[in-house]
Amino acid sequence: MAISFEPAQSTIDAREFYHKMAVEQMRPISRKYDLEEHAFPQEWVDSYWKHGRSGPGGDWSGANDGFVRVCVQAEELCWGDAALYLRMPTAALGGSAVAAAGTQEQKQKFLAPFQGDGPPVWGAMAITEPQAGSDAAAIQATAELDGDEWVLNGNKIFCTSGESASQHEGGFVVVWATIDRKAGRAGIKSFVVPAGTPGMKLIGLEKKLGIRASDTATLLFEDCRIPRSNLLGSAEVKKHDPKRSGDKGFKGAMATFDASRPIVAAMAVGVGRASLDFVKEELARHGYEVRYMAPRTELRSIERDVLEMEAELHAARLLTWRAASMMTHGKPNSLEASMAKAKAGLAVTRITQKAVEILGPPAYSKKMMVEKWMRDAKINDIFEGTQQINQLIVARRILNYSSSMLR
Amino acid sequence: MAISFEPAQSTIDAREFYHKMAVEQMRPISRKYDLEEHAFPQEWVDSYWKHGRSGPGGDWSGANDGFVRVCVQAEELCWGDAALYLRMPTAALGGSAVAAAGTQEQKQKFLAPFQGDGPPVWGAMAITEPQAGSDAAAIQATAELDGDEWVLNGNKIFCTSGESASQHEGGFVVVWATIDRKAGRAGIKSFVVPAGTPGMKLIGLEKKLGIRASDTATLLFEDCRIPRSNLLGSAEVKKHDPKRSGDKGFKGAMATFDASRPIVAAMAVGVGRASLDFVKEELARHGYEVRYMAPRTELRSIERDVLEMEAELHAARLLTWRAASMMTHGKPNSLEASMAKAKAGLAVTRITQKAVEILGPPAYSKKMMVEKWMRDAKINDIFEGTQQINQLIVARRILNYSSSMLR
Amino acid sequence: MIDFEPTEEQQLIVETVRQFAESEIRPLARAANEAGKLPDALLSQAHELGLVANAIDEGFGGGGERSAITGVLVAEELAWGDLSIALAILSPSLTAFPVQDHGSDAQKQDLLPGLTGGQFVPGALAVVEPRFDSDPFRPSTTARRDADDWVIDGAKCFVPWIDGGATVLVSAAADDGAGIFVVPRNAKGLTAESEQNMGIDALPTAELSFEAVRIPSSARVEGADLVGLVHRGRVGLAAMAVGVARAAFEISRDYAKEREAFGSPIATKQAIAFKLADMAIEIDGARLLIWEAAWLFDQGRDATRAATLAYQQASKVALDVADAAVQVLGGHGYIRDYLPEMHLRNARGFASFEALTLV
Amino acid sequence: MIDFEPTEEQQLIVETVRQFAESEIRPLARAANEAGKLPDALLSQAHELGLVANAIDEGFGGGGERSAITGVLVAEELAWGDLSIALAILSPSLTAFPVQDHGSDAQKQDLLPGLTGGQFVPGALAVVEPRFDSDPFRPSTTARRDADDWVIDGAKCFVPWIDGGATVLVSAAADDGAGIFVVPRNAKGLTAESEQNMGIDALPTAELSFEAVRIPSSARVEGADLVGLVHRGRVGLAAMAVGVARAAFEISRDYAKEREAFGSPIATKQAIAFKLADMAIEIDGARLLIWEAAWLFDQGRDATRAATLAYQQASKVALDVADAAVQVLGGHGYIRDYLPEMHLRNARGFASFEALTLV
């Protein structure tokens, strides 16, 4: 091994493939689905299902840049449109949970439709509850065993792709619920609820600041029955060691964040780059060159802004790739994943906000896309752990503090 | 009353008086005492004692701008040199404590030398201990009553003017110590220890980043005996209500912060203005005008820096004056005093750091004063409650949280 | 003498406006935003408070109490209620103040009485241009003399375009310098296209296009001072920015005290509490800069520097505070059930609005 | 293939240098700073590690393993120990690299063997000028042809001026563009005045004044690329900035875990813990930018943009981190018993140093 920033050919291919898709399939409909909130982006779903999912990004377990390639895919597609990216028919976080904690049989059963020739399907993960926020241990939803079935009850909000995953046959929602409220975190398990299961009800869709083409659902579980075999991991509740995070099911589900955070960071970088690219194009169009060797005393204010945006964006990108690369090599990357997520979320929030300012009055109008990118970008500072949650994770790791020592 | 930013004539007079003093008495020796750390600035002490202390700043209880005038004085003199300002022969924080919590007799006795015709004298306050930091309730120094005397034992660090106050006859140090360790905060009292009292020993002087002309002393109290009447406030320990801050002595001493924080904020503003004024002069000298109506797209990077520095500095100044004005009118100003202190400390830290950058290579050299102002300024982010302590105070007030709810 | 207390009369006005904002404006804010439409009845109701009329000369039916300080106090409170609605309520000032300050007797007679009558009549001012390098002090829009007329060419954006207005004041470069011109909304060659912006959704604004728009020579506001006008616009906006920031701050503060995570209110976490403290400090700091600029206007002194700094600082603070408020609310900050996301969108506009209100 | 792991050999070098920095440099750092004097023995000791010599061609007694990546890895570790000492240890690179990369055979023969010998021989490079608007790419210092000589006029600052050096490389504008010239320290017309700076106290630096300094035409480093040189300087400095930042971060982290207030370590307070988290994140982000720039050098590709961004980011991060470290230590951060105040002073210089080391 040696430090290198030369992408593998397969990464270059992936970048080209997804960039083309972003330019041709996403950008043309980007504003439309921003304005028509909650409309189903049929053409995009079909296009991704037909061409996108077989593109050179999906399987990263092989050689070359591994998980970095997944990040490059996310960056390119979110350069296209972050909301449409989230709306793609994929197993998403639900799939990661199944892959991380499911048995071979579960993987086969639930993930197969995503490879198949059937109609488009979605996966989703339902964790957050109205009163719980980032505090997974405070989950109130319950799962009770009744004969050979688990009976789920509870209310889940902020479920990305929750509408698609719960309504389109073949998809599924991974639901976090407790099987023993007294056991705290140890009692929390995750369950696969197939689309269309009676008792899983779509209650509403959030109206949001941005990423309006992505469905963010509220799901109600009322005596929702699923087969016993749909539990991910073990049903055992380890009560005696409150400091341990429980079994493979919980841990596996938590571990999905180590993979999802670099992806979310890469998404952020994609949106940020969309803004930055556009700013540079517009500046060039108006005859404002961004100089890398301008004398400090002659540098324009907006030039410095662009230089800072570039540095911040690329630092975020490299932190992201590092976390992804560690994942490829099977190294623990929780710290680095949270670093990347925290950095990218904040950097891109600022970059996209600055882009609107730099481009002046026209950029505040919906005639240009920068205002949308600013709205879209902000989600990256919030979901998959807010800025603050990721700072907390980083802080605990660098201080070597447990979660009880640093709250 | 009506919103007005027109200083009273007496404030204008004070500004002119102290500005002249800053230009003529402070600036010429500023570098000298920065380089000769711990040297006694005889000429400045004499000059202040002879001319400065009778200037139009001291007594603010009268009409006009009241305490704002004291802030204007601090700003002007710290524009001259913050370290020499701190080294002035005044009763300083020790004096404020006596004024706030002392009896008529105590005031007469301890403060008279500051008005008199004798040699220069200093007051000081000794609170911080090696292990206590900002946590006044954790004070370990003890005071025990033995007959008609208090016997003090303990170790005090970061005592501004501690050398001068403890060594020059006529001065005094107000020492915080507990008379009942079990009582926590309620047991903490303040005591006036006259200069030269046996058992009060000067152990060392700190070598510091900046404000090198100001003496920052470590004082050791070993069976240091003072008359019973040197206790400020009552000797009673109110044990039954741990939430109350104790008696007039403690409260009075704490209340001195409501007055001292605006002054410290004004000091910060003075140092910041020194840097900003100099930056603008230098820019003008090099033909760089700072334009207030430049088109956004044409603004120079360093021009924007200056505009931001001006706005930040003046916001800090106005927050300071507001806190001071409330004090003049007898309104509770703890919130506003901490706001001013937090803002000014941080703003001026950044302003002075930026000034060194803007002026390029020559500004990193000791040939110019900006590097010194950057070093001096940082103290304002630290003493009289760090940035963080003041944020904590502000947060508690705006949230209406007690100190036990927000730690 | 330096003092930070508004007069008793001003305190009374502030109290009245604050109550109006709280009980009348705020409850309608979200719906107006989603509908992209002003609540018309509210404008009439607000008109009865006489907020603009009070500043118009008595000779034209006004209260004769022009004060930029009162103006910024009122602007902050209204914008605390809702920015779009605040801009609409105060829009008559956009016509009234330039004409009152610099107009001819005929212009005053023509325009002012309508603004002090029983009916709400909106005003309009076109200063910002839909260009990357829009510069309010140096308009690209031109006014060319042709015989006894002025002929105007160019484009403007962010022009409040509320139903019921008949004229728009337009800044344009003439051969003797930039000036202000009174243009009828229905002038030939003037077209208005509705804008869709990231924020201020409820306020109808238009992008105006002037193609050889011909107006009589008397249509110029002869004494008009574009520089002063823009600065008064900036200070008014700055006050509104502080109003928006205060609204976002208060909502996030209250949310943080209510919302529990890991067993206690999130406001008990230093990361949240200190953020709130910083928001409070920055809001107060920006407000004081604004007050000073307004005071300079009222003193008839040069406020260029003070207004510039206040506008710049308040724009920045509003954006930062609104962003922080969204962050404090977390997922709830990102959805339109709560107001901070709207505050964030609104706040981002201040850097470009320039003269969407006047004090 | 994208990869973030140094080679095994590089890891070994880093480990060695880190140990040297920890056990040899760090213990002497404060005393050297207070004395304003380098610990001479340490330079000889460091010289034995062959850090610069290893990058010089084998033909001149070096190791022939030139790598900018290795360079930045080493620079960070040394600066983590102490910036002044790190700059001194690596100063031979200031002479070696420009000559090796672009010098004539005669120049190489003249200068390189001395740097690979048994004795530490310092190098010197004069690029920054003591002017407000100093621009490393466009020197004000001039080199004028006169018969067979070059005549140099101008001034430079931040020139490392360690005892034992005989020459200084100087950037100057010639009629055919900016170039690099080898000037003997004792050249007539060259005067060196010791500098007193805010930081890097232990490193002797000089402000040089050139008054008609005459050197032979062969003294120009003919192929020298000032632009590339400055960028290599910036990247080396950026790596040192990260080293300084890391040192400040670690000290404040350890302090925060030890220091108690209100009954628990201050690191358990979110305000402190999150600050430390941000410091760690920014340090890592800046380091990766530096690695990429260094990698581009090693690939022989254009690194202008990457080097500029890395330098800018690392300078900023170092200042912010050092300032935050002082803040974490509170009163102790302000006194010279602890290192962060020195880190702060050193960090502020990076924005101006430009080419005080080379990779």
User: Do D133 and A296 count as a contact with CB atoms less than 8 A apart?
Assistant: yes
Check residue D228 and give its pLDDT.
96
- Please report, rounded to a whole number, the percentage of residues in chain C having pLDDT higher than 90: 99
Question: Contact at 8 Å (CB) between C4 and B328?
Answer: no
The answer to whether the CB atoms of C262 and A366 lie below 8 A apart is no
Q: Which helix (H) or strand (E) holds B193?
A: strand B188-194
Nearest-neighbour CA in chain C from B387: distance (Å): 10
pLDDT value at A246 more than 50: no
**pLDDT reading at C38 higher than 80:** yes
Neighboring chain D residues of B387 at a CB cutoff of 8 Å: 327
State how far Cα D101 lies from the chain centre. 18
How confident is the model at residue A381, as a pLDDT?
94
User: Which of chain D's residues have a Cβ under 8 Å away from the Cβ of C269?
Assistant: 270
Confidence of residue A245 (pLDDT cuts 50, 70, 90): very low
Confidence of residue A385 (pLDDT cuts 50, 70, 90): confident
For the cut 70, the answer to whether the pLDDT of residue A9 exceeds it is yes
> CA distances (Å), C85 to each of A403, C22, C134, C341, in order?
46, 12, 25, 17
Residue D181, number of CB atoms within 10 A of its CB: 23
Chains that touch B (3 or more CB pairs under 8 A): A, C, D
C131 touches chain A (CB under 8 A): yes
pLDDT at B245: 46
Q: How far apart are CA D241 and CA D224, in angstroms?
A: 26
CA A115 centroid distance within chain:
20
pLDDT band at B101 (very low <50, low <70, confident <90, very high): confident
Q: Outline where chain D has alpha helix (H).
A: 8-20, 26-35, 40-47, 68-81, 83-89, 92-102, 105-116, 226-258, 270-298, 304-329, 340-353
Residue C276's pLDDT is 98
3-state secondary structure A259-292: HHHHHHHHHHHHHHHHHHHHHHHHHHHCCCCCCC
> Would you give the distance in Å from CA C3 to the centre of its chain?
26
- Find all residues with CB under 8 Å of C129, minimum gap 6, and list them: A361, C135, C139, C140, C141, C154, C155, C156, C157
Any CB–CB contact under 8 A between D271 and chain C? yes
Give mean pLDDT, residues D226-246: 98
- Which residue among B282, B349, B388 sits closest to D323, beta carbon to beta carbon? B349
pLDDT digits (tens, 9 = 90+) for B357-375: 999 999 999 999 999 999 9
Tens of pLDDT, residue by residue over A79-105, are: 999 999 999 999 999 998 898 889 999
CA D215 to CA D209: how far, in whole Å?
Answer: 15
B9-114 against B251-399: fold identical: no
Q: Assess whether pLDDT exceeds 80 at residue A46.
A: yes
* 8 Å CB contact of D1 and A8: yes
Kindly report the nearest CA distance between residue B348 and chain D, in angstroms. 13
Say whether B300 and A300 touch across the interface (CB within 8 A): yes
**CA separation for the pair B347, B341 (Å, rounded):** 10
For D128, which residue in chain B has the nearest alpha carbon?
B361
Q: Please say whether the beta carbons of B57 and B77 come within 8 A.
A: no
Take residue B242 and report the two structure tokens written for it: 């741990």
Q: Please say if the pLDDT value at position C33 is more than 50.
A: yes
Residue pair C257/B399 in contact (Cβ under 8 Å)? The answer is yes
Report chain B residues whose CB lies below 8 A from the CB of D323.
349, 353, 378
Chain D residues with beta carbon closer than 8 angstroms to that of B367:
196
Task: Name residues whose C-beta falls within 8 Å of residue B254's C-beta, 6 or more positions apart in sequence.
Answer: B136, B245
CB contact under 8 A, A134 and C326: no
At C190, list the tokens.
Answer: 């003037």
- pLDDT at residue B247, rounded to an integer: 52
Residue-wise pLDDT for C321-357, tens only, equals 999 999 999 999 999 999 999 999 999 999 999 999 9
DSSP string over D203-251: S-EEEEEEEEEEEEGGGEETT--HHHHHHHHHHHHHHHHHHHHHHHHHH
For tokens 């540095």, the residue is: A311
Look at the domain A251-399 and name its fold. Answer: Butyryl-CoA Dehydrogenase, subunit A; domain 3 (1.20.140)
Neighbours of chain C (3+ CB pairs under 8 A): A, B, D
Three-state secondary structure call for residue B291: coil
Q: Tell me the three state secondary structure of residue A198.
A: coil
The whole-number pLDDT of residue A242 equals 44
User: What does the domain layout of chain B look like in residue ranges?
Assistant: 9-114, 123-246, 251-399
Domain layout of chain C by residue ranges: 8-115, 125-219, 226-351
Tokens of A147: 């004969």
Q: Is D354 a catalytic residue?
A: yes
> Over chain D, what is the mean pLDDT?
97
Read off the pLDDT band of D187 (50, 70, 90). Answer: very high
Determine the longest span between alpha carbons in chain A, in angstroms.
Answer: 77
Residues B225 and B175: their CA atoms lie apart, in Å, by: 12
Tell me which chain D residues have a C-beta less than 8 angstroms from the C-beta of B353: 319, 323, 348
pTM (2 d.p.): 0.97
Size of interface A-D (CB pairs under 8 A): 141
Which pLDDT belongs to residue A374?
98
The topology (CATH level 3) of A123-246 is Butyryl-CoA Dehydrogenase, subunit A; domain 2 (2.40.110)
Structural contact between residues A319 and D281, judged by C-beta atoms closer than 8 angstroms: yes
Q: Does the domain made of D8-115 have the CATH classification 1.10.540.10?
A: yes
% of chain B residues with pLDDT over 90: 80
Instruction: State residue A250's pLDDT score.
Output: 61
- Cβ burial of A327 (10 Å; 0-12, 13-18, 19+) is buried
Q: Look-up: residue for tokens 């120094």?
A: B141
In this predicted structure, what is the pLDDT of residue A63?
60
Q: How far apart are CA C262 and CA A135, in angstroms?
A: 6
C270 in contact with D, Cβ within 8 Å? yes
Q: Do B374 and D341 touch (CB under 8 A)?
A: no
- pLDDT band (50, 70, 90) for residue B63: low
Percent helix, strand and coil across chain A, each to the nearest 5: 55, 15, 30
> Is residue C245 scored above 80 in pLDDT?
yes
pLDDT score for D165: 94
Question: For residue D25, is pLDDT > 50?
Answer: yes
Does residue D207 contact residue D161 with C-beta atoms inside 8 Å? no
Query: Where is average pLDDT lowest: B61-65, C131-135, D161-165, D305-309?
Result: B61-65
Query: Model confidence at B235, in pLDDT bands (50, 70, 90)?
Result: confident
Instruction: With cut-offs at 50, 70 and 90, classify the pLDDT of residue B164.
Output: very high
**What's the average model confidence in pLDDT over B194-207?**
97
Q: What share of chain B is helix, strand, coil (3-state, %, to 5)?
A: 55, 15, 30
CATH topology of domain C226-351: Butyryl-CoA Dehydrogenase, subunit A; domain 3 (1.20.140)
Q: Quote the crossing angle between the two packed helices A334-358 and A370-377, to the nearest 10°.
A: 150
Tokens matching residue A340: 């990347």
CATH code for the part of the protein at A9-114: 1.10.540.10
Does position B255 have pLDDT exceeding 80, yes or no? no
- pLDDT for res B174: 96
* Cα dihedral D326, D327, D330, D332 in deg (nearest 10): -10
More confident residue, D197 or A239: D197
Q: Which range (A125-134, B186-195, B373-382, D305-314) has the least confidence?
A: A125-134
Distance (Å, whole) CA C92 – CA C111: 10
Model confidence at C300: pLDDT above 80: yes
- B298, B300, B360 member nearest A299 (Cβ): B300
More confident residue, A218 or A254: A218
> Cβ of B374 under 8 Å from any chain D Cβ?
yes
Three-state DSSP class for residue B274:
helix
- Cβ contact (<8 Å) for D341 and B208? yes
Three-state SS string across chain C, please?
A: CCECCCCHHHHHHHHHHHHHHHHHHHHHHHHHHHHCCCCHHHHHHHHCCCCCHHHCCHHHCCCCCCCHHHHHHHHHHHHHHCHHHHHHHCCHHHHHHHHHHHCCHHHHHHHHHHHHCCCCCCCCEECECCCCCCCCCCCCCEEEEECCEEEEEEEEEEEECCCCCCEEEEEEEECCEEEEEEEECCCCCEEEEECCECCCCCCCEEEEEEEEEEEEHHHEECCCCHHHHHHHHHHHHHHHHHHHHHHHHHHHHHHHHHCEECCEEHHHCHHHHHHHHHHHHHHHHHHHHHHHHHHHHHHCCCCHHHHHHHHHHHHHHHHHHHHHHHHHHCHHHHECCCCHHHHHHHHHHHHHHCCCCCC
**Other CB atoms within 10 A of residue B42 CB:** 10
At A224, which amino acid appears? Answer: C
Residue A57: the pLDDT is: 62
Q: Which CATH superfamily is domain D125-219 in?
A: Butyryl-CoA Dehydrogenase, subunit A, domain 2 (2.40.110.10)
pLDDT, mean of residues D189-213: 98
pLDDT tens for each residue of C267-296: 999 999 999 999 999 999 999 999 999 999
CA distance A230 to D344: 57
Q: Each residue of A304-321: pLDDT tens digit?
A: 999 999 999 999 999 999
Res. A249: pLDDT tops 60: no
